[in-house]
Amino acid sequence: MNINRKLRLQLLAQNALFVVLLVGIVAAVLYLTRDVRIQWDLTQARRNTLSEASAQVLRQMKGAVDITAFATRQDTEGDLRKTIQEFVVPYQRVKRDVSLTFVDPREEPKRAQEAGVRLNGELVVRYNGRSENLSNLTEQDLTNLLLRLMRSSERLVVYLDGHGERKLDGHTNQDLGDFGAQLGSKGFRIGSVNLVVAQDLPANASVLVIAGPRVDLLPGEVNRIKQYLDKGGNLLWLADSDSLRGLSPVAELLGLNLIDGVVLDPRAASLNLPATFALASAYGEHRITEHSTVTSVFPYARRIAAQPGSKFRFTPLVEAAPQGWLETGALNGASFDPKRDVRGPIVVAGALEREVGDRKQRVVVVGTSQFLANQFVGLLGNLDLGVNIVNWLAGDENLITVQPRTRTDLTLEMSRTALTLIVLFFLVALPLGLLVSGGTIWWRRRKS
């Protein structure tokens, strides 16, 4: 085929047009997709993606979140600003108005001092006219900080003291200190009240907690609790199975029928737990439990039931031991007796609500105080359930959420045998194999 000048110009024009069209299409695609970002998180625990709990918190926030990172431009431990940027990016993906600004504390020391910054890499988070500093770059800490900033005002949680109760700031296995610390990280303030000394409960208390007293309350103390309830006070009552400790009048006021007995669950043996540890995975339709999917553990729990004609609306929160029963006799060698025992599932936690004046009064009664004790609060979903209960009691049901989980694939743990096999393969077998194959090829070429 003879290519003349005219044909050459036609081919050149066609090629030029093709290039122009291709560049135009690419430019149009880039322009149309400039705000579209698609990423895939292939890590085992999706550690580069926010947990659904954190995402729920961000979706509830109305307004911009401003984050100022006080970090130097160069750091001996690496690029600190890059680490902070990668930490904040997942939050920005969920909420577009999360802004991040960097300030070098060495260049602007006065600004860092005014912000109360003490560490290189510390964040100052501002939302809705409030601010708080963050030094630990973990999802749990930042999400808890955002929860605190979302609260319209500080909430005071008061626990009854003076009768051997479990303390919300105690550190023994029997106390509730770990749970109290978690409430503190959510913006609650913890206090105690001894009604033998104090004339009345604090007027600014959002929630009163009665956690398993070991001795009977005096009649005057019980009357003060009843007065607190008559005024519309909110209550979290952790009622152990052994005795109500003089609080029967409170149960009558609430319209509760608290039958003596311990819930036994044969399924607990599969988890190497005693039968007195009732397992619960069935939750009622309530704001507290609508996101609850994890099994909870209730040691030595009693049954919670409502009496007919109560002034409170009663909602079962947790049903435990579907294959178990409420044992009303001795625990040693216990077996189900249809004449006196109650077949499972057994309600071990219930929520009560009524209107008092122009406000809603809320009460939650749980059939054991041990499920939030330091010894057991870390079991399965106990902590999540406890935090959700207090959020609801304090009127912050919009903050009810499942807590962000710790990532499981941050470290690689291998047995000594696996490490030995890896060393033998990569440092011995593989180099030796390459030497043998290379020598064989050299020998064959030399012979040929």
Q: What is the pLDDT of residues 25-44, one digit of tens each?
A: 988 887 777 665 556 555 55
**Rounded CA separation 400/392 (Å):** 7
Residue 422 domain flag: no
Q: Are strands 296-299 and 277-283 parallel, antiparallel or unpaired?
A: antiparallel
Residue 69 domain flag: yes
Whether 199 and 300 share a structural domain: yes
Residue 395 domain flag: yes
At residue 277, the pLDDT reads 95
State the DSSP code for 290.
T
Whether 232 and 381 share a structural domain: yes
Q: CA–CA distance from 191 to each of 124, 218, 363, 390 (Å)? A: 28, 21, 19, 14
Sign of the CA dihedral running 194, 195, 198, 202: positive
Residue 146: enclosing H or E segment and its boundaries? helix 139-150
Whether 169 and 96 share a structural domain: no
Residue 8 domain flag: no
Whether 135 and 157 share a structural domain: no
Do 217 and 208 meet the contact criterion of CB atoms below 8 Å apart?
no
At residue 359, the pLDDT reads 87
Q: Please tell me the total count of domains within the chain.
A: 2
CATH of the domain at 84: 3.40.30.10
Whether 191 and 305 share a structural domain: yes
Provide the residue type at 146 as one letter.
L
Residue 36 domain flag: no
Whether 114 and 176 share a structural domain: no
**Rounded CA separation 158/205 (Å):** 6
Which token pair is 40? Answer: 């895939």
Which token pair is 33? Answer: 């997709």
At residue 413, the pLDDT reads 66
Residue 342 has pLDDT above 60, yes or no: yes
Mean pLDDT of 42-62: 76
Helix axes 139-150, 52-60, angle to 10 degrees: 30
At residue 403, the pLDDT reads 56
Band (pLDDT 50/70/90 cuts) for residue 370 is very high
Which percentage of the chain shows pLDDT scores above 70?
A: 91
Strands in 262-264's sheet, in edge-to-edge order, are 262-264, 325-327, 342-343
Q: What does pLDDT average to over the chain?
A: 87
Closest C-alpha to 390, from 160, 250, 238, 235: 235
Residue 413 domain flag: no
CATH of the domain at 327: 3.40.50
**pLDDT, tens digit, 9 for 90 and up, residues 380-404:** 889 989 999 999 999 877 666 655 5
Whether 235 and 123 share a structural domain: no
**Rounded CA separation 157/160 (Å):** 10
* Bridge partners, 1 (sequence order): none
**pLDDT, tens digit, 9 for 90 and up, residues 244-267:** 999 999 999 999 999 889 999 999
Which percentage of the chain shows pLDDT scores above 90?
A: 47
At residue 332, the pLDDT reads 82
H helices present in 193-346, as ranges? 219-230, 248-254
Q: Which of 66-80, 83-97, 110-124, 199-213 has the lowest mean pLDDT?
A: 66-80
Residue 441 has pLDDT above 90, yes or no: no
Higher pLDDT, 31 or 198: 198
Mean pLDDT of 324-348: 88
Residue 231 has pLDDT above 90, yes or no: yes
At residue 384, the pLDDT reads 87
Where does a domain end: 102, 128, 148?
148
Residue 39 domain flag: no
Which token pair is 446? Answer: 């030399």
State the DSSP code for 167.
P
Whether 223 and 306 share a structural domain: yes
Q: What is the dihedral of CA 205, 143, 281, 304, to 10 degrees?
A: 0
Instruction: Provide the whole-model pTM.
Output: 0.70
Which token pair is 432? Answer: 């030796």
Residue 64 has pLDDT above 70, yes or no: yes
At residue 29, the pLDDT reads 81
Mean pLDDT of 174-188: 90
Residue 433 has pLDDT above 90, yes or no: no
Where does a domain end: 95, 128, 148?
148
What is the residue whose two structure tokens read 């705000």?
35
**Rounded CA separation 296/74 (Å):** 47
Whether 195 and 69 share a structural domain: no
Residue 299: enclosing H or E segment and its boundaries? strand 296-299
Beta strands in 141-255 (DSSP E): 155-160, 188-193, 205-211, 235-238
Where does a domain end: 119, 148, 177?
148
With b for 16 or more beta-carbon neighbours within 10 A and e for fewer, the 355-371 pattern comes to: eeeeeebbbbbbbbbbb
Which token pair is 106? Answer: 């060495």
Which token pair is 241? Answer: 């199975």
Mean pLDDT of 424-436: 87
Domain coverage including residue 267: 153-399
Across the chain, which distance is largest between two alpha carbons, in Å?
A: 116
Whether 135 and 200 share a structural domain: no
Whether 199 and 106 share a structural domain: no
Whether 261 and 124 share a structural domain: no
At residue 153, the pLDDT reads 67
At residue 1, the pLDDT reads 54
Neighbours of 389 (CB within 10 A): 22
Mean pLDDT of 333-337: 83
Closest C-alpha to 177, from 193, 195, 159: 159
Residue 235 domain flag: yes
Which token pair is 369? Answer: 């105080």
